[in-house]
Amino acid sequence: MAVYERRYTPYDGTLTPRKSRFLVLPAYSYKEILSSKMFLIFLAAWGLWALLVLPILIYLPHNLAFLEKFGVDPETVKGAFNFDAGFFFGWFMVPSMVVAYLSALVVGPALVSADLRNNGLPLYLARPFGRWEYVLGKSAVMLILLSAITWVPGLFLFVFQSYMEGWDWFSGNLGVAVGIFFTSWIWIVQLCVISLALSAYLKWKPVARLSLILIFVVMPRIGDVINLILSTSWGSVMDLLKMTGIIATGMFGIASRSAVPLPVAWISLILFCAVCVGLMAKKVRAYEVVKS
């Protein structure tokens, strides 16, 4: 079907493997996401912090000659930071979760709504491309981006610190790596599932974005009010960030100050994600059927 010939011809060339075809969706999405200069600057700023500032902080106490050259007392620098689970949690994990949330706020709500709003979904699903491949492809956009923000630089910092400190520190703090990895994934999956469900259900990007803010900012305040009125701590189960924090502190081996038990935190997150998956399963269809 060459342009100048203007006639219909079938395609008989090679086809791409079916299993990796869902990756077409992130490839197209990233072209749009990365065309935003503001978002690129935001990601670059985080990259500077995670891949330059923090590695320098880890490196400096190990180059005493450099510090002495600038008249800085090495002991002061060494004493300022204790490179343990608390450092990785406070200086990397918490900021990375905030950056991941803000990124999800930018990227997530637009992912499915653009397709659903103008009945674009039948075009995808009329091809050898199933509903769950579609969801996987859209999720991959978030999973890859948020991984690059959270656990990938986190594990890099851990490996760098281990290289500087040696085998003893590495074997003694392996739990930190496990904490970075799993806490990141819990947060990533949560953000991914919630933002995709909102995007699919509300079909309108600004409303989906606002709802994502409501879930993580307003819902916890409602939980606080419930706690206050009923003199309980169960209202906190509405605070997804707090629940993630409880799980994360458990993984990092840091004492949690919350009254909500760890299993309850797990259950509340799992339930919330299950509801979101249910909403997605209902909405991500070629055509919605109204049953009489």
Residues at the interface with other proteins (CB under 8 A):
1-3, 6-16, 18, 21, 24, 28, 32, 114-115, 117-120, 122-130, 285-287, 289-292
Nearest to 191 by CA among 147, 250, 257, 253: 147
To other proteins, the closest distance from the beta carbon of 33 in angstroms equals: 12
Strands (E), the chain: none
- 12 vs 168 by CB, closer to other proteins: 12
Hey, how many other C-beta atoms are within 10 angstroms of the C-beta on 195? 29
Taking the least distance from each CB to other proteins, the nearer of 2 and 56 is: 2
CB of 119 to other proteins, least distance (A): 4
Of 6 and 257, the one with the shorter C-beta distance to other proteins is: 6
Q: Which two tokens stand for residue 135?
A: 């969801």
Calculate the CA dihedral of residues 263, 269, 271, 276 and round it to 10 degrees.
-170
**CA–CA gap between residue 19 and residue 89 (Å, rounded):** 36
Can you tell me the distance from the alpha carbon of 77 to that of 81, in angstroms, rounded to the nearest whole number? 7
Q: Cβ closer to other proteins: 5 or 168? A: 5
Least CB distance from residue 80 to other proteins, whole Å? Answer: 48
**Cβ of 129: how many Cβ atoms within 10 Å?**
17
Q: How far is the CB of 36 from other proteins (least distance, A)?
A: 12
Q: How far is the CB of 280 from other proteins (least distance, A)?
A: 17
Of the pair 25, 188, the CB lying nearest other proteins is at 25
Q: For the chain, how far is it from start to end, CA to CA, in angstroms?
A: 46
